[in-house]
Amino acid sequence: MIEGCDPPRAACNYCGEDYAADRHNNGTTSLWRHLENKCTKYPNKKDKSQKSIIDFSKPGAENDSAFGKIKKLDTEGIRKFLAKMVIIDELPFKMVEGEGFRAYSQALEPRFVVPSHITVARDCMKLYVEEKKVLKKLLKSQRVCLTTDT
């Protein structure tokens, strides 16, 4: 904060440029924008001309997999396990369309095409119907007794 200013102003710690800093009207947004866009002396500034260390835009090699062996691609099995993961961890269906998840899937199995959130929802519903049939079959052949203590 710069002393004796009305309205209050704050100076950048790196280059000294001053900005409005009234806590009710301005907040810290103007200073953050200054650090990200204008301040040349800010040490943590990301150079936009350089690529990041983790580049999600490049898929892996076509026949390369995380386990080092080339196996037959079991798309249905992978989709079933994906549906189980969504159900068990109570994840949103849209999670599969995120850049991070797609990069993770590419790293594990580059040949697998990640399905849309609608397909994942359908797979979860199929899994539910299958489990429901198994449970009905199990309960059909047995008796259930309910007792209470009075």
Tell me the per-residue pLDDT of 40-83, one tens digit each, with 9 for 90 and over. Answer: 888 777 666 655 444 444 455 444 445 555 668 889 999 999 99
Using the 8-state DSSP alphabet, how is residue 2 labeled? B
Contact 117, 94 (CB under 8 A): yes
Q: Which amino acid is at 14?
A: Y
Who wins on pLDDT, 61 or 25?
25
Give the integer Cα–Cα distance in Å for 80 and 113. 14
pLDDT score of 147 more than 80: yes
pLDDT single digits (tens) 91-127: 999 999 999 999 999 999 888 999 999 999 999 999 9
